[in-house]
């Protein structure tokens, strides 16, 4: 009889501990919205574009060739991304082309 009470108390304490751990782990997750993820992706591409084109600032022909190559790759990657539809891809590529 006494052992059943002890096992019940231990079981309840373990259950409470598991519930606390589950709620604590869920409260620390950072949830990004679709718009935030899109902005992060676009900003990553902007940084990459600036980083690649910076050494070519004096050579316009090489700069344009590299920019076209990079924009084609970005367009291909965005077409496979679930966050972007065709209109948003066109808009993003135009924005990056004008950078």
Over residues 18-25, mean pLDDT: 82
d(CA 89, CA 99): 15
Interval 51-76: pLDDT, tens = 988 888 888 888 899 999 999 999 99
Q: Check whether 47 has a pLDDT greater than 90.
A: yes
* Distance, CA of 56 to chain centre: 29
Answer yes or no: is pLDDT of 46 > 90: yes
DSSP sequence for 20-82: HHHHHHHHTPPPPPHHHHHHHHHHHHHHHHHHHHGGGTT-HHHHHHHHHHHHHHHHHHHHT-T
Task: Say whether both 26 and 38 belong to one domain.
Answer: no
Q: What is the pLDDT of residue 27?
A: 60
Handedness of CA 12, 13, 15, 16 (dihedral sign): positive
My answer on whether 81 and 40 are in the same domain is yes
Residues 49 and 90 in one domain: yes
* In a shared domain, residues 40 and 66: yes
Task: Check whether residue 44 and residue 92 sit in a common domain.
Answer: yes
pTM: 0.63
Give me the domain span that covers residue 92.
34-97
């Amino acid at each position: 009889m006494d052992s059943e009470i002890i096992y019940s108390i231990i079981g309840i304490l373990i259950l409470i501990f598991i519930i606390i751990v589950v709620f604590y782990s869920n409260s620390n997750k950072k949830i990004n919205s679709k718009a935030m993820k899109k902005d992060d992706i676009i900003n990553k591409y902007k940084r990459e574009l600036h980083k690649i084109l910076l050494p070519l600032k004096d050579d316009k022909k090489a700069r344009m060739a590299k920019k076209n190559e990079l924009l084609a790759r970005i367009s291909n990657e965005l077409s496979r991304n679930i966050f972007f539809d065709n209109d948003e891809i066109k808009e993003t590529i135009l924005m990056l082309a004008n950078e």
